[in-house]
Each structure stands twice: as C-alpha cells, then as structure tokens.
C-alpha cells in the first residue's frame, strides 16, 4: 500500500475513532467527581481490615492478589520469550574477550560520569530495599523496588563495564531470583489454602498498622515480586547488552 | 477540566497511533506504541481522581479521609508492567529483524525472504 493511501486510510479511521472516543468520554463522570463504590469501600476499611496504610499495595497484594499473580507471570513469560528470541543463532558465536581483563566499557563515559554512577550504586540498592520492604506502609512495593534494584546494576554497567556487571549478577543467581520470586508468590498463595482456606488469603497476623512488620502476607508477597522483577529486568538487560557487545555474526 | 483530562488521553492514543502508521523505523514504532499505552494511564488516573482528595496512603492522614481511587492506581501499575514486557519483546523482534534484513525500516521488510 502506498504511503499516501495508508495515511488517508488512517486519517479516515482516526477521525471515526476520535468521534467514538469523544462520545464515550462524554458519558464519563466529570473529572474529580468519582464515586466508585469499591474504591470508597477500600479507602475506608483498608487500615482496619489489613493494617496496611498504603491502599494501592493492599489492593495489589491482597484484595487483587490473584491478578498480581497473573501479572507476575506475564513478566516471567515475556522474559523467557525474550531469551528465546535472542538466543545464540546458528550463524553467531559469542566473542570471548581478546585478553583477560579486557572490558566492554560504555563508550563516552567520562571520569565524572563513572565516579558519580559508582557512588550512586550503594544508595540505590538501599533505596530499592527500602521501597521493597515499606510497600505496605508508604508508596512503593515489589514492582517499583525491583526495578530500582535492577537499575543499580545498570549503573554498574555505565560506570564500570559490562563484564563487571555480569560478574556481579551471575546468570544462575539472576535466574534463581526470577524463578524463585515467581514460585515464592505462588507458594505464599498455597499457604493461604493451607492456613486460611482460600488461595492467596492473608494468613499471617496483621501486626500494628504503621509498623514495618505488619499487614500479614503483603510484605512477603512484595518481597517475592521484588526478587522476580529484579531478576527479570537484569536478565532482560543482559540479553540486550549481549546482543550489542558479545554476539558476533560469523 | 474533564475535557482536558479525557482529551489528553484520547490525544495520546491517536497521536501514538499516527506515529505507528507513519513510522519508518521499528524502534521509533515501539516508542510510539508506548505513547498509545500511556494514554490508558492518563485515562485510568483521571477516572479515579476525586477533587480535593489525598493519595490513598493512610500513613500520615487518618483512615477514611477523602482519598482518590486506589484500584485504578493498582491497575495502572499492572499496565506499566505489561507495557515494559511488551516493549522488551518488540525490541527483541526489532533486533532480530535488523539481523535478518539489515534494516529497521518496516517498508523494507519483505515477508518472503531468507
């Protein structure tokens, strides 16, 4: 199809779509006038029921815990799919470092960038652990903290080099974190069946609202997700960086 | 105000779609897809907003205070995770397409080759 015909077809379809969207959105409640029954209910009962002060995390890991299980497995499956897509092909081979100690440095990294990124690695790991563990109390949780933790390794790549990053995140460990996190979430769910009679039901004591160890299984599920997300993202970045730096056609 | 919030969502959706249709580079196309997906975040968060309400975190405000909808925020989080996975898979496909065809221009990718 010629470019002009394609654009014409799109403009016609987009105009129709815009009209449909405007029509549909005209029927939505006015901005700021939301009265969703479930949201109002959760805002009122979440602290009393689950002793969790962050309603979003409580929804994610308790009220809607089953959806999060699915979401976690979407991430898991897509990273497996990515590893399959970027596997070593017949016409490719991995290029070993020519000399021992040769490193794939990030091109264009100045001394200032290297120093700054390496200084930030430690604080970023602490921030990741803080966000992971305080998900039930303040904004955060396993997904956000997991990405932060994986980002610390990207800083190692920026400031140090790719092989340093790989040494800090051995493949086996990364895969173990990813698979263990996914399985851990499922096992905590099974714990709900054993101890409380329903899958993913919160079966631990709720503790005191506002304390670090409170809200029952919510922090545990959050940590499981954090391990899975960190592992998944590090695996994902390693696969892409492998393509750019290690794999050679030949 | 409603028109601005919902209009932004609609605009992001359509402008991202325009980018996908006219794209001449697979990486650019993937980024356009993220623009389309970000329209859903704006829509979800706009729907869940209550005027004068705080964030649904009751650590420093009394339980039962007027707060925005936590459910759409949790849904948005799901949405972000799904977007990240979709982008990763599409970029992997772009890497392989570039290896096979030597180009990232979708118009140059012929279906029957190799």
In a domain, A122, yes or no: yes
Find, among A173, A117, A124, A159, the residue nearest to A145 by Cα. A124
pTM listed for this prediction: 0.85
Say if A46 is an interface residue toward chain B (CB within 8 Å): yes
Asked if pLDDT for residue B108 goes beyond 60, the answer is yes
Closest chain B residue to the Cα of A239, Cα to Cα: B92
Asked if pLDDT for residue B112 goes beyond 60, the answer is no
Inspect the interface and report whether the beta carbons of B50 and A34 lie closer than 8 Å: yes
Q: Tell me which residue range forms the domain holding A170.
A: 54-249
Average of per-residue pLDDT across A203-219:
81
Q: Tens of pLDDT along B24-48? A: 899 999 999 999 999 999 999 998 8
Show which of residues 90-109 on chain B sit within 8 Å of chain A, judged by CB atoms. Answer: 91-93, 95-96, 99
In degrees and rounded to multiples of 5, residue A191 shows phi and psi of -55, -35
Average of per-residue pLDDT across A175-196:
89
Burial class (CB in 10 A: 0-12, 13-18, 19+), B113: exposed
Determine the pLDDT at residue A94: 67
Q: Which residues of A touch B72 (CB under 8 A)?
A: 39
In a domain, A92, yes or no: yes
In a domain, A164, yes or no: yes
Say if A43 is an interface residue toward chain B (CB within 8 Å): yes
Asked if pLDDT for residue B114 goes beyond 70, the answer is no
pLDDT grade for A73, boundaries at 50, 70 and 90: very high
H, E, C per residue of A194-249: HHHCCCCCCCCCCCCCCCCCCCCCHHHHHHHHHHHHHHHHHHHHHHHHHHHHCEEE
> Looking at the partner chain, which of A25, A42, A47 has a beta carbon nearest the beta carbon of B6?
A25
Say if A7 is an interface residue toward chain B (CB within 8 Å): yes
Average of per-residue pLDDT across B94-108:
84
In a domain, A48, yes or no: no
Distance CA A12, CA A100 (A): 60
Instruction: Compute the nearest-CA separation of B15 from chain A (Å).
Output: 9
Determine the pLDDT at residue A229: 93
Mean pLDDT rounded to a whole number for chain A: 84
Asked if pLDDT for residue B113 goes beyond 70, the answer is no
In a domain, A3, yes or no: no
Tell me the percentage of chain A whose pLDDT exceeds 70.
90
Determine the pLDDT at residue A93: 67
Mind listing the domains of chain B with CATH numbers? Answer: 2-55+65-108 (1.10.287.3510)
Write B105-112 long-range contacts (CB < 8 A, 24+): B105/B24, B105/B25, B105/B26, B106/B23, B106/B24, B106/B25, B106/B26, B106/B29, B107/B24
Inspect the interface and report whether the beta carbons of B64 and A10 lie closer than 8 Å: no
Say if A1 is an interface residue toward chain B (CB within 8 Å): no
Q: Tens of pLDDT along A115-148? A: 888 899 999 999 999 998 888 888 888 899 999 9
Determine the pLDDT at residue B99: 84
The Cα-based distances of A23 to A26, B1, B6, B10, B48 in angstroms read 5, 17, 11, 11, 19
Determine the pLDDT at residue A11: 93
Structural domains counted in chain A: 1
List of residues 6+ apart from B42 with CB closer than 8 A: B5, B8, B9, B12
Determine the pLDDT at residue A122: 92
Determine the pLDDT at residue A103: 66
Q: Tens of pLDDT along A91-100? A: 676 665 555 4
Q: Which residues of A touch B82 (CB under 8 A)?
A: 71, 74
Q: Tens of pLDDT along B35-90? A: 999 999 999 999 888 888 888 888 888 877 888 888 999 999 989 989 999 999 99
Inspect the interface and report whether the beta carbons of A78 and B57 lie closer than 8 Å: no
Average of per-residue pLDDT across A88-92:
70
In a domain, A49, yes or no: no
In a domain, A95, yes or no: yes
Burial class (CB in 10 A: 0-12, 13-18, 19+), A240: middle
List of residues 6+ apart from A193 with CB closer than 8 A: A199, A201
> Looking at the partner chain, which of A3, A55, A89 has a beta carbon nearest the beta carbon of B56?
A55
Q: How many CB atoms lie within 10 A of CB B87?
A: 17
Q: Which residues of B touch A64 (CB under 8 A)?
A: 71, 74
Token reading at A15 = 């105009």
Lowest mean pLDDT among A43-52, A71-80, A227-236: A43-52
In degrees and rounded to multiples of 5, residue A93 shows phi and psi of -145, 155
Determine the pLDDT at residue A126: 94
Average of per-residue pLDDT across A19-47:
85
Distance CA B77, CA B95 (A): 27
Closest chain A residue to the Cα of B73, Cα to Cα: A56
Average of per-residue pLDDT across A177-202:
88
Interface probe, candidates A18, A59, A93, A215, chain B, greatest B C-beta count within 10 A: A59
Contact A124, A155 (CB under 8 A): yes
């Amino acid at each position: 199809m010629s470019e002009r015909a394609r654009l014409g077809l799109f403009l016609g379809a987009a105009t129709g779509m815009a009209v449909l969207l405007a029509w549909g959105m005209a029927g939505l409640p006015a901005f700021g006038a939301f009265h969703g029954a479930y949201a109002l209910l959760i805002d009122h009962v979440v602290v009393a029921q689950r002793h969790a002060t962050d309603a979003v995390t409580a929804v994610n890991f308790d009220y809607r815990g089953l959806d999060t299980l699915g979401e976690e497995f979407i991430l898991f499956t897509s990273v497996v799919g990515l590893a399959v897509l970027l596997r070593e092909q017949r016409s490719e081979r991995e290029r070993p470092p020519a000399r021992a100690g040769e490193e794939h440095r990030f091109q264009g990294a100045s001394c200032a960038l290297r120093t700054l990124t390496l200084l930030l690695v430690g604080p970023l790991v602490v921030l990741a652990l803080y966000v992971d563990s305080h998900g039930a109390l303040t904004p955060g949780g396993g997904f956000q903290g997991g990405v932060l933790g994986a980002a610390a390794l990207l800083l190692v790549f920026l400031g140090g080099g790719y092989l340093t990053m790989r040494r800090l995140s051995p493949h086996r460990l990364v895969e173990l974190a990813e698979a263990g996190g996914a399985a851990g979430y499922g096992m905590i769910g099974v714990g709900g069946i054993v101890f409380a009679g329903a899958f993913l039901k919160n079966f631990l004591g709720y503790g005191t609202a506002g304390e670090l160890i409170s809200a029952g299984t919510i922090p545990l599920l959050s940590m499981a997700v954090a391990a899975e997300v960190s592992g998944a993202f590090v695996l994902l970045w390693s696969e892409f960086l492998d393509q750019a730096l290690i794999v050679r056609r030949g | 105000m409603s028109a601005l919030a919902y209009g932004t969502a609609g605009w992001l959706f359509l402008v991202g779609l325009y980018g996908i249709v006219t794209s001449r580079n697979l990486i650019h196309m993937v980024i356009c897809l993220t623009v389309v997906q970000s329209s859903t975040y704006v829509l979800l968060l706009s729907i869940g907003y209550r005027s004068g309400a705080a964030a649904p975190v009751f650590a420093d405000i009394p339980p039962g205070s007027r707060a925005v909808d936590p459910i759409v925020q949790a849904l948005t989080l799901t949405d972000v995770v799904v977007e990240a996975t979709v982008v990763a898979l599409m970029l992997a496909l772009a890497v392989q397409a570039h290896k096979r065809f030597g180009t990232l221009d979708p118009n140059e990718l012929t279906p029957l080759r190799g």
